[in-house]
Structure 1
Amino acid sequence: MTPILLIEQVLNGLQSGVMLFLMAAGLTLIFGVMGLINLAHGSLYMVGAFAAAAVSAVTGSFLLALIAALAAAAAAGAVIEVAVIRRLYDRDHLDQVLATFALILIFSEGTRYLFGSFPLFLDIPKALAGPVSLPGGIQYPLYRLVIILAGLLIALGLFALIARTRIGIQIRAGAADREMIAALGIDISRLYTLIFALGAALAGVAGALVGAIQSVQVGMGEPVLILAFVVIVIGGIGSIKGAFVGALLVGLTDTLGSVLLPMFFAGFMEPAAATSVGASLSSMLIYILMAGVLLFKPTGLFGEA
């Protein structure tokens, strides 16, 4: 592998990682504070992507598409928290899994009814289309660099929100002792709705950003949701810092593995066999990484018992 190809794949891994962080951050907030297993989080990612594609098709504005994705996902999150999720906090985790799985089916069929079964496409803005020259003669898509930068800025904003604001203090206190903050007069129901809407908005923005580099289709959120669960297990449930580190590790491992393993096996196998074996093993790498982390630190890298 040439140095240029390696750097390009590292950048691809970073881009994948920051998008996974937007998914995993909302998921870990919801589970860490509410103790809720939300399988429908991937559906909110899909809602953001479809809202962005629909608004972009009508207005031609990518900025308006992003705003629509954030608003639609946050609104959907708030509605399902009030209508469904609020009744599940004191229920068994199995009830939560069944109810949020039902929400996946509702969102999938509802989206198919509104938009049809065929994929939609969200165009990259003209100002961000094409490659940009990086040091060393590397040509890399400008839009992917913008995704990395946007993801990092959102991550910094989320860290600041959690660490520096009154709402952040309430969120951290809710994760530590929900009964105590309720006794201190905090409206726990409103706080839960806010957290759920925030997590949904992060997922929706991720769906919109990724929707411009792949097709927008029904069910697109479920594979990302699986990776997001891997991320929060690696980073530690309830830890935003853990979600960020875990997302970067998963993104880099998945991207580099899919390139390096086929190249490795190509040295002593037929090209077709090397590609097949390498692709199969690369899809296992993130789960091997997760198992390795749990073997030495069962609570995840930054999780607490």
Structure 2
Amino acid sequence: MAVPPFDPELSVALESLGNGPREPVTPGNLAARQERDAATRPRPTAEDLRADGRFEVAELSVPGLRDGPDVTLVSVRPAGREGPLPLLYYLHGGAMIMGNAWSVLPRILREWVLPLDMAVISVEYRLAPRTRYPGPLEDCYAGLLWAAGHAAELGIDADRVIVGGKSAGGGLAAALALLIRDRGGPGILGQLLLCPMLDDRGHTFSSHQMSGLGLWDLISGETAWKALLGDRYGAADVPPYAAPARATDLSGLPPAFIDVGSAEMFRDEDVAYANGIWQAGGQAELHVWPGAYHGFDGMAPQAAISKDARDARTRWLRRLLAHSSSSR
């Protein structure tokens, strides 16, 4: 099967990894991969994140929903800022089976919190397969409800909250937007969906076209979805809050930013999601980065296309915040 070529700079970064990190995640190696991720993924402390006083950091434990456990939120804002700030409510990546709320924060603080004068809350949601759907999503929803209800003490503007995430976190952010719409939860200003993991069915052309290439493929995706859905995997009635690509109604959602690589398995499901928003009369900005594989900007942050992707995300956030401020 013909495949789009990788961007030259990204290809060099991918080859430098060797075969170990590119090995598919399978049910047989899942536990070992989770242990390795927990041991090696960065986990900056609150003191690290304070960065010599530039940021105010609080690790919060808030009540869960539906008999769920308490949820840990990591709240960070520029130090010394008075008045309510817009909030990025961020959900980390890791295919629903890996990752943590702390590792994503240094880049977010550097690229968005300081330049855009905003706050961020990162959510430590429970991981599959120990916790299956809807546990992780309910964690995210519980944290958002708490943050909106305690906006004054957090110093955030409850009318200017953006939900966002990357990969699995992007899928959770999309699901959260659907859940908020349907439960009548707190309003959100926008949804920042970076290479989001949306479709459990593995039936798109790109999911087969790119299998065995890049950093994430059909085998790994199937393993992650089975871990999240358990016995519901493959069922016809998987809800859209578990897999947003299942949604048949994408109306009434906040503006979305969606980006994805042309050379990754999530390409077609992400393009289809943007198209579904447009067809429902909504607003979405879509970027398909040529020759980019999954997680390209993290693997090769100095590549020209990675810089372009980060710039596009920042411009969208800046426009969204400026419009919300001017429309008051």
Shorter-chain TM-score range: under 0.3
* TM-score after normalising by structure 2: 0.25
More strand by percentage? 2
Larger radius of gyration: 1
* TM-score after normalising by structure 1: 0.27
